[in-house]
Structure formats: structure tokens, C-alpha cells
Structure 1
């Protein structure tokens, strides 16, 4: 059985392209592993302007309070993802929970 390297120059370029796209979207690199080519990224929760949402809610007679609460609960969680190279040399993304 031959030892086939997990990462070569072409796979490295694919991983770096996907990584660059995620960094543009606001993710921050937390950990990089070159031996098992993977990268752990995180994204801080977005800040909510509660004053603006309150006034919009008042103007819509409370209807805006539903999307405001959904936005609030979704923004409490920090997003973490892993980007790695699979056996075929293709990059994939997986959400981290916990």
C-alpha cells in the first residue's frame, strides 16, 4: 500500500480559496492543522440595535417584535465551523456544536 499525501499543492489551493471566502464573510481563524488539513473558524454574534427594533415594533403595532425576538435568539450563539479536505481532495465544511 502506498502512502498518498493527504494534501498537495492543488488541494492546498482549494482549501485556501474556501478559507478566503469564509474570512470575507466575517469568520476568524482559530486553529490550523497542516498534517490533517483542516481549519477551525468562528464568527462572533452580530450586535442588535434594540432601540431601532423597539421603534419599528411600535410603528408596526408590535408585529415587528416577532422577527426581533428571532433575531435576538439567533445572535446569542457564536458560529463555529471546520473546513477540511476529504479523501478525494475536495474541501468540505461542517458545523461545530457545543
Structure 2
């Protein structure tokens, strides 16, 4: 029994470390479940400065339009991540976009 609690504590420390890294990157905690250890995080879409990107695209003769389109497409979606501990005790994360 002590082995299981020690392993659970070590796994929860790993989970909290991964969670702290994600929060530093701008994610917000939406849901926490301690019984089945998992955390749901979300990150709001970034705003794109289209005026600046237009002028950069003009200055680079349209080459900047490719990354601009990619950034605009990626910024429309909210990013959600589930961080959990699986049956083997390993911390994993699953990414989903809305």
C-alpha cells in the first residue's frame, strides 16, 4: 500500500510540473479532477495585427503572406489540452482544437 501512495505522489508531482509549464505558456485551468487525476487547460486565440502583416508582406514582395495566412488560420481556434496520468502512471497530454 505504501508503494502505491509513493508512486501516486511522484506521479502527481510530475503532473503538477507539466501543469506549471503549460500555465507559464499562457494556458488557463478550466477543470481539475483529483479522483481521476486529470486537468483540462485552454488557451484563447491570439489576435493578429493584420495591418502590420500587410505592410511586412508588401515589403517582402508577398513572401510574408504565407506565414501570415498560417498565423491567421491558427489564431482562429481555441486550443484545449487534457493532461492526465494513465494506468501505467505516466503523465500524458492530449491536444484538441475547437
* TM-score normalized with structure 1 length: 0.87
User: Per-residue deviation at 1:38?
Assistant: 0.3
Give the aligned partner of residue 96 of structure 2: 96
Give the aligned partner of residue 37 of structure 2: 37
User: Per-residue deviation at 1:9?
Assistant: 1.5
Structure 2, unmatched stretches of 5+, are: none
Runs of 4+ in 1 over 3 A off after TM superposition: none
User: Per-residue deviation at 1:97?
Assistant: 4.5
Instruction: Determine if contact 2:27/2:43 at 8 Å carries over to the other structure.
Output: yes
Tell me the number of residue pairs that the alignment of Structure 1 and Structure 2 aligns: 94
**3-state DSSP of counterpart to 2:58:** helix
Structure 1, unmatched stretches of 5+, are: none
Aligned mates of 1:96, 1:52 — CA distance in 2: 29
Higher mean C-alpha displacement, 79-88 vs 7-16: 7-16
Does 1:19 pair with 2:19?
yes
User: Per-residue deviation at 1:17?
Assistant: 0.5
Give the aligned partner of residue 80 of structure 1: 80
User: Per-residue deviation at 1:96?
Assistant: 2.5
User: Per-residue deviation at 1:63?
Assistant: 2.0
**3-state DSSP of counterpart to 1:68:** helix
Q: Encode CA deviations 1:50-81: one digit per residue, 9 max, x unaligned.
A: 11101111111222112111110111000001
Q: Which has a greater percent of helix? A: 2
Residues 81 and 54 (structure 1 numbering): CA distance in 2 closer, same or farther, change over 3 Å? same
